[in-house]
């Protein structure tokens, strides 16, 4: 099990990695467009790499096979050991994935909504298969069977792909992903911070600290 942070903000990533609970980073064009619309992508990702450890996923945004492979080569060169190419799932995406796999490039197949999609991506050699929890729920479906069934078939067939569950909207999404067998929940900073907080924990710590400060007093 591992937790990735879903962000492109180097300052926040550095702060959260100091907790010692994170193992990697995922980004996507929507996140980067919101957090740093004017940033140079290469500089931004290099900053992220410098303040983190583990795999850093960077998503392809072109649409033809040739363009996607060229884009992947550019991203991979930024740090071949840590860059994980995020490949959007499609027929073209599978072809690109297969070629990247043959070259030993780490890959993260993204925008998966169903077990059959994740299975195809795993067969093609994906390092990670990313199931989008919130967007599955947006369609009115329960994402839990998708995660569970995907984990079962990967285990049954000894496929090495790891399940990332992203598009988290609530803290309970994280709990469910873990309970259903996801290898890696990828979580936004606000949700990760909510995982720390509990009112009873705060109340108990305050009670202990107050008792210590007041020891010996009448």
Is 53 strand, coil or helix? Answer: coil
Q: Which of 86, 102, 106, 162 is catalytic?
A: 86
Contact, 177 vs 165, CB < 8 A?
yes
Rounded CA separation 151/159 (Å): 10
Q: Say if CB 58 and CB 80 are below 8 A apart.
A: no
DSSP state letter for 161: P
User: What backbone torsions phi and psi does residue 166 show, to the nearest 5 degrees?
Assistant: -125, -160
Task: Tell me the C-alpha distance between 116 and 92, whole Å.
Answer: 17
Q: How far apart are the C-alpha atoms of 48 and 13, rounded to whole Å? A: 7
Inter-CA distances, 197 with 13, 96, 171, 182, Å: 19, 42, 11, 23
Q: DSSP strand E in 9-68: where?
A: 24-26, 56-59
Q: Mark whether 86 is an active-site residue.
A: yes
With 0-12 / 13-18 / 19 or more C-beta atoms within 10 angstroms meaning exposed / middle / buried, residue 174 is buried
Residues catalogued as catalytic: 86
């Amino acid at each position: 099990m591992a937790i990735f942070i879903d962000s492109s903000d180097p300052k926040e990533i550095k702060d959260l990695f100091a907790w010692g609970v994170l193992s990697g980073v995922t980004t996507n064009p929507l996140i980067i467009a919101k957090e740093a619309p004017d940033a140079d992508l290469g500089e931004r990702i290099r900053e992220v790499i410098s303040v983190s450890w583990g795999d850093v996923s960077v998503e392809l945004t072109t649409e033809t096979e040739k363009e996607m492979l060229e884009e992947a080569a550019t991203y991979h060169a930024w740090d071949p050991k840590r860059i994980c190419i995020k490949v959007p799932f499609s027929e073209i995406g599978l072809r690109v994935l297969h070629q990247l796999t043959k070259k030993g490039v780490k890959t993260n197949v993204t925008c998966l909504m169903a077990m059959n999609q994740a299975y195809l991506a795993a067969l093609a050699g994906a390092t990670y298969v990313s199931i989008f929890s919130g967007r599955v729920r947006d369609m009115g479906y329960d994402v839990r069977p998708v995660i569970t069934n995907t984990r079962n078939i990967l285990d049954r067939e000894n496929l090495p792909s790891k399940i990332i569950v992203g598009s988290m909207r609530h803290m309970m999404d994280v709990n469910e992903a873990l309970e259903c067998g996801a290898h890696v929940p990828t979580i936004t900073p606000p949700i990760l911070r909510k995982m720390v907080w509990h009112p009873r924990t705060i109340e108990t710590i305050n009670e202990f600290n107050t008792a210590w400060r007041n020891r010996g007093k009448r």
